[in-house]
Chain A
Amino acid sequence: MGALSFLKDSVFAEEYAAGGGFLQSLDPRVKAITFLLFIIQVLFARSIPALFFLYGLCLFLALVSRINLGFFLKRTWVFIPLFALFIAIPALFSTFSPGEGLATWDILGTKLTITRQGLAAAVTFIMRVAASVSFAVLLTITTRHIELLKVLRIFKIPQVFVMTLGMCYRYIYLFVSMIEDTYRAIKSRVGVLVHYKSGQNIVAWNIAFLWSRSLKLNEEVYRAMLSRGYEGEARVLDEFKTQVKDWLWLFSVAALYLIILWMT
């Protein structure tokens, strides 16, 4: 359950979005564009120093946006292995990346050799995933969920898609909260000493039930939105405003983009 709460906190925390750091003060549209540039650059960068530089830049931005670095690292590194490990590990070995051997194991008759090229490829890959995931996460935690959806709309992503995304987000949130509540309810009825294993069993048994319950709740939330005049596209109080700062930021990111491109 600890893992679940952590996941919930890290995916749904909105407190940073409301905080008064550097990124929070940018126009969400400009922020989204520049982050897109960063991510594109990361995905196409082939030099390891450039990747390290971009990743460092990301951490620096997190710092000046008053984001707790520990929280940020934990949050991003939860996702990174998910993306990286399964794809990067096979590439380490000579079967997939032939080259100069660094270390060799003999496992069950299969010879596994780590090659220099393989290692470089793996480091590049992991850094790529780490930096792009970090940029994506940084964008999402410094921007309110509703604003993010609105930015998607501005980029001409169809409304149905954005609405569905918003609904999924809410749904997952409700679902996770419900699992948490249920777990607490079980604990209160069965006693504190419930073994986490049996607790999990009960939760597992109830998952179908929870599913339908949170679906129902989601439906009700949707009704509540309708009841207050929601017509498919949420309006937010603070309309986006671009300031001089936003333009400066946009130009410096574009310049940096070109410099890195030219240098590597």
Chain B
Amino acid sequence: MDDLIFALKDVYFSYLGKFPALRGIDLEIKKGQKVSVIGANGSGKSTLLQILDGLIFADKGEIGFRGRKLNEKIFYDPGFSRDFRRRVGFVFQNPDVQLFCPTVKEDIVFGPLQLGLEKNEIVKRLEKLVEGLGIGALLERQPHQLSVGEKRKVAIASTLIIEPEVLILDEPTAGIDPLTTRHIIDLLIEENLAGSTIITSTHDLHIVEEMSDVVYVFGMDKKIVKSGPAEDILNDTALLSANNLVHIHSHKHMGKVHAHPHLHIEHHNNPG
């Protein structure tokens, strides 16, 4: 049980008391695991991730973090709060939300500064990340003037610089071009190999296999429909199409229009 990072038992959450977003979630996340959460729009993925990051709190049920119960009160303790924020990093689905400083550079160093890291160390990490993500040219720009993909890269950098043990990413590759997606995934896998726990939500099925030891599929009823290793989930076409995760694709083949279910992964599993 030592290596259990998160343990959720029968967690319920609703917005403003009337819009249910999670209905009885049970899950366990172990240290060093890659976990992904997939599901249709509005199935509760972002809500779950924000609960894991201690930003909102369940109406009912229990959330355990390394053997302690996460609730609003525990964050009043500055010692715990700082320790938690240092251990757990979160990349928001909407990068506009995450970037609030006047320049990109200030935004990236915001986290480590608040957490009281050494200046030299911060600068060192900054340089490394800037190079890895290729965002050197953006540093003095204003975050709200960037393109969606650039914003997302900056948002990811602003979280990675904290070097958290647990990385929670809400759709990290949405709106990002294929090559950059590749870079980000490589970066995350590197973090994982170094021991980080990585939790991602995504609609991007072709990153699921690489990004998950366990996949949780969220259903329209805001419950977990199925969980298991990536290959089991990705081969369950009926399940995927019932949850809006595959679409019917029309092609033109020699002048004729074909329509067939289309799995995103099919293209990407092939090398090259």
Contact = CB atoms under 8 A, between A and B. Distances in A.
B102 A17 contact: yes
Interface of B: 50, 53, 55-56, 78, 81-82, 85-86, 89-90, 92, 94, 96-98, 100-103, 105-106, 109-111, 113-116, 119, 122, 140, 142, 144, 158-159, 162
A221 B92 CA distance: 10
Contact of A225 (B78, B100, B122): B100
A132 to B, nearest CB: 25
A220 B94 contact: yes
Nearest to A17: B102
Grouping DSSP codes into helix (H, G, I), strand (E, B) and loop, the A interface class, with mixed when no group exceeds half, is helix
A246 interface: no
Contact of B100 (A15, A170, A229, A235): A170
A83 to B, nearest CB: 27
A223 B114 contact: no
B100 A220 contact: no
Contact of A221 (B85, B100, B116, B140): B100
Contact of A15 (B78, B119, B142): B142
A146 B101 contact: yes
Contacts, number: 78
Nearest to B75: A226
A177 interface: yes
A14 B144 CA distance: 12
A237 B122 contact: yes
Interface residues of A, number: 25
A224 B101 CA distance: 12
Interface of A: 14-15, 17-18, 144-146, 170, 177, 217, 220-221, 223-231, 234-237
A226 B159 CA distance: 12
B82 A231 contact: yes
A75 B142 CA distance: 20
A221 B109 CA distance: 16
A231 B114 contact: yes
B142 to A, nearest CB: 6
Contact of B85 (A14, A146, A220, A229): A229
B100 A231 contact: no
A30 to B, nearest CB: 21
Given A146-B106, A223-B50, 8 more contacts: A146-B101, A146-B102, A223-B55, A223-B97, A225-B110, A229-B82, A230-B110, A236-B106
The 5 closest A-B pairs by CB, nearest first: A228-B111, A229-B114, A229-B85, A229-B115, A14-B102
A223 B115 CA distance: 15
Contacts of B94: 220
A236 B249 CA distance: 50
B6 to A, nearest CB: 16
Given A229-B85, A231-B82, A237-B119, A220 B109 contact: no
A150 to B, nearest CB: 12
Contacts of A144: 102
